[in-house]
Amino acid sequence: MEQKNFYITTTLPYVNSKPHMGHALEFVQADVIARYQKMLGKALFFNTGTDEHGQKIYEKAIAEGKDPQAYCDEYAEKFKVILTKLNILSEIHFIRTTDPHHIKAAQHFWKLCEENGDIYKKNYKVKYCVGCELEKTDSELVDGKCPIHPNLELQEIEEENYFFKFSNYQRPLLDFYEKNPDFVVPDFRFNEIKNFVEGGLMDFSISRVKEKMPWGIPVPGDEAQVMYVWFDALINYISTLGWPEDSTQFERFWGTIETPNALQIAGKDNLRQQSAMWQAMLLSAKLPTSKQIIIHGFITSEGQKMSKSLGNIIDPFEVAEKYSTDALRYWLTREMNTFEDGDFTWDRFAESYNGGLANGLGNLVSRVMKMAFTNEVSVTREMDFATDAAFESFRSHLDRYEIKKAADEIWKLIAELDKKIQETEPFRLVKTEPEKAKEIIKELLAELWKIAYMTAPFLPETSEKIFFALRNPKELPMPLFPRM
């Protein structure tokens, strides 16, 4: 029986810098999936927010001479603004890890794992990457550096902290993966995490000494320590539902142990945290696991990872301002490979805009609506797509979260309609066989209804404009995408 409630969450960005294109990618991918599920009539819980504790944020706030909470407040607002700019669904839930309820939920989660015997205290010494917020073994380093954050110096940490018994969950995780063969999408990422777990798991630190790093949630029963990263941030996925108090909403959207319901989307640098560490934590707390994890790649620029030091960071605000929000959403969903890295350059973006939007979708809508206007043709009833092959292919791709492939189905249809216009030439046929020409124009209008419907999760503003034009054929619409 198909679940009528749908839960999706992004990861929570750290507030140590303003939103970048990687954040925009994840927000838009999640939004496409959420809008599609909403179109299917499902009740939706869509979560995002900001991760506001930890050493990176504390150090950044101090460096800027700001109170950490005031610093977090400022940056949380920047992320709320980018959600609006990207036209993310307005009913999205925005959680902050400094919210009082989240703090209580994280402490309650800690106690559940502690009661299960999975939390203990020990002295240790480790190499630590602040960028990843993870301990690093020598085998994970390249030339003594973290391969993901090669510009950051590794920290040598030596202190007494609490640890989570991750090592207890090697067999339970492998059994879980075997029972859920599509748990991580795509397959090659699933193989990656299975290989990691098969290689053996090391317990990981979940607290820091408050005297050294005060910006965190107090450890229950030990005010000298604060929770660090994973036993704080990851809990947001369930605290946002009102857990542990609101068991009804929690079960409705997160699911049960027998029927988990939560879909999570994350970047490839979060694979381990989301698909292994978080699942082990849920098993320890005796809570339902996630249902699936979708892993996307990075956005590079000229083949290099975007970074401040290289000066190649692309601001999503700037792209949306220059070209439009839907133009940015188009690039993120159709030009980016859904599961792998994609390269952004301004030239390539402009080429994509002109080819796919100005000369593609925009030009088709203008041509068809002009013929409908000139010949007083309209289609009063939206067509039934239930048995339509293109629509079924579109749906099957989105059911598997293949966002780019679903978008490609739309542009395949656009190309077919362009071809149909070239072959039938209804604009010429009206002079010799007006009734036949009108019939062809009606067919084109019916196909535009389908395109408007299929486009809605990807380019919501453009979809609305097409629907408006179809319902008002006596008005010629403005060009959807003026050529740049």
Catalytic residues: 20, 23, 129, 132, 146, 149, 305, 308
> For residue 163, how many other CB atoms are within 10 A of its CB?
18
DSSP code of residue 153: P
Q: Are 340 and 267 in contact (CB under 8 A)?
A: no
Residue 107 CB partners (closer than 8 Å, separation 6+):
217, 218, 220, 227
Q: Which residue has the tokens 């820091």?
A: 208
CA distance 18 to 288: 33
List, in sequence order, every beta strand (DSSP E) within 170-268.
Answer: 184-185, 204-205, 207-209, 218-219, 222-227, 262-267
CA distance 448 to 64: 52
Q: What is residue 427's three-state secondary structure?
A: helix
> For residue 366, how many other CB atoms are within 10 A of its CB?
17
Q: How many CA atoms are closer than 13 Å to the CA of 272, on its beta-carbon side? A: 18
CA 76-79-80 angle, 5° bins? 90
Q: Are 86 and 31 in contact (CB under 8 A)?
A: yes
CA distance 161 to 481: 56
At position 350, the amino acid (one-letter code) is A
Q: Which residue has the tokens 């003594």?
A: 144
Q: Are 292 and 183 in contact (CB under 8 A)?
A: yes
> For residue 382, how many other CB atoms are within 10 A of its CB?
14
**Which token pair is 151?**
């510009």
Single out the residue of 300, 276, 303 nearest to residue 290, CA to CA.
276
